[in-house]
Amino acid sequence: MAKVKSSYFCQSCGAQSPKWVGRCASCGEWNTYVEEIIQKEDKTSWNSSSAKIAQRPRHLKEITYSQEQRIITPDGELNRVLGGGIVPGSIVLIGGEPGIGKSTLMLQVALKLSTVKVLYVSGEESEQQIKMRAERIEVPSDACYILTETSTQNIFKQIEMLQPEVLIIDSIQTLHSAFIESAAGSISQVRECTAELLKYAKESGTPVFLIGHITKEGTLAGPKVLEHMVDTVLQFEGDQHLSYRILRTTKNRFGSTSELGIYQMSGEGLREVTNPSEILLSQRDEAISGIAIGATLEGNRPLLIEIQSLVSAATYGTPQRSSTGFDSKRLNMLLAVLEKRGGMRFGAQDVFLNIAGGLKVEDPALDMAVCVSLVSSFHDAIIPADICFAGEVGLGGEIRAVNRIEQRISEAEKLGFKHIFISKYNMKSLDPKRFTIQLHEVARLGEVFDNILQS
C-alpha cells in the first residue's frame, strides 16, 4: 500500500509547508495552515484528441499567428470589461460576495448566447433550482445545457460527448478531483481543478468561466493561486441594500484593466445600465449646499458623478474625517491644501464625503469637484446645478491638466450641463468651437470659488 502523503497549505495565500507553522512566511497571517492529503501520480484528467507530443523550441519567426474572432455576447457591459468579447481558449474568474448575483449573471449570459452551445455546470444548485431562475429571467434559449456535478473527471466525460463552445463552472470551490484526496474547497483542490480546466481551455480553445467565492477580507478564496492561473479576473461588486451592481476588471491579458460594467438587479435578472449617470446623479427637489458634479473616466467610459460633502463643527473635541467611495488620504491632502492655500479652517470641523451611487473612484480629476463641494458645505453656499468640474489639484492650490478632457466635456454636454471648469493647461489641445457647453479655464482654486459660490 502506498504511503499517504500530506502537506500543509496556508488557507489565505496558498503557500505550502512540509510541517505546521503558526505564522505564514508569505502573507504574515497567523494560524492559517491546514494539513491536506496530496497524491502525486501521473494523471489524465483531460485527454485532448489533438494532444501534442513533447514540444521543441521554435524561433519566433516560425510561429504563425491568425487573429481569432472573439465571441460577442448580447451583454454589452460584459463585452466591455472583457475587452471586446470572449477570447477563445481564455479562462475568466468572476468573484463577488454571496448573493451579489454572480450565478444570475452567468446564467443570463448562458441563456443569451443562443447561437453558441453553452454548458453550465453547477455544484451548488439542483437542476430544478436553476430552471426556476431561468424561468424568472425569461430569456429563451435552445443552446444552453445544465449539468449538476462536482467531480472533474465526470465533467470532462460529459464535455467530450457534448463538445460545448463555452463552459461555465459554478463554483470552482465546489469541484473536486480524484487525484487530490483533500476536501473540496481546499487550496490543493482548487489549484488542481483550476489547472485541469486551464489545460482543457488551452488545448481545446473553449473559453471557460469560473465563479469564485471571496473570503471575509473581500479577496478571492484560494486567492493569488487562482488569480495567477487565469487570464481575466472580474470582480462583481455592489451594496446588497441597493439594486445596482458593478462588474470591474482587476486583471485582463486581452484588454484594459480599468473598465467597468454597471447593472441593475431586478426580479427578471440583471439589466444593463447604458447611461451610468442615471444612477450617479441623484434627483433633488431643491438645491442644497455641499453638492458638486465631477467628470471622471473609468476605462474608456466617461462618467459624471455627484460628490456630497457635509462640514459641521466638531462637537466631541476630535474632528472626524470620513469618506465613502473616495480615498481618505487624498481627502486629508485636499483639506490641508484648502487650509494652507485658501485660509479655511477645517481643523475644528467634522468632514464627511460621499460618492453618490456607491461607486469607488480614484481619478485625480475629481479633486476640483471635491474641493468645491467641501467649500460649498463649509460656507453653506449652493453650487448651480448646471456646472461640473474636471481638474486635479496640486499641493500649491494650482489646477493641473487631466487626460482625455474632450471625452469628459462631451459627456457633460450630452447630459445638459451649461458650464464646465477645467485647467487652463488643457486649453492648448482644445478647440472650444467644437462644444456648445461653456468652458471656464482656471489656474488656481481661488478662481473657481470666486466664480461659482452663491450665498
Binding residue ranges: 96-103
Residues 439-448 as b or e (16 or more Cβ within 10 Å = b):
bbbbebbeeb
Q: How many CA atoms, within 13 angstroms, populate the side-chain half-sphere of residue 65?
A: 4
Please say whether the beta carbons of 306 and 357 come within 8 A: yes
Question: What is the SS3 assignment for 376?
Answer: helix
Nearest 5 degrees, angle CA 116-CA 159-CA 194? 100
If DSSP codes are grouped into helix, strand and coil, which group holds residue 61?
Answer: helix
Residue 231 CA to residue 197 CA, distance in Å, equals: 12
Instruction: Give the cell for residue 138.
Output: 425569461
Q: CA-to-CA distance for 331 and 229, rounded, in angstroms? A: 36
Binding site per annotation, positions for ATP: 96-103
Q: How many CA atoms lie within 13 A of 268 on its CB side?
A: 5
Look up residue 119 and give its three cell numbers. Answer: 454548458
- List, as one string, the DSSP characters of 188-215: HHHHHHHHHHHHHHHHH---EEEEE-B-
Q: Give the SS3 label for residue 53.
A: coil
Residue 162: all three cell numbers together:
457534448
Strand, coil or helix: 391: coil
Side chain identity, residue 22: G
Cβ atoms 45, 193 nearer than 8 A: no
Find the helix packing angle between 187-204 and 152-162, rounded to 10°. 20
DSSP 212-260: E-B-TTSSBSSHHHHHHHSSEEEEEE--TTSSEEEEEEEEETTS-SS-E
Is 346 exposed, middle or buried, given 0-12, 13-18 or 19+ CB atoms closer than 10 A? buried
Helix (H, G, I), strand (E, B) or coil at 133: helix
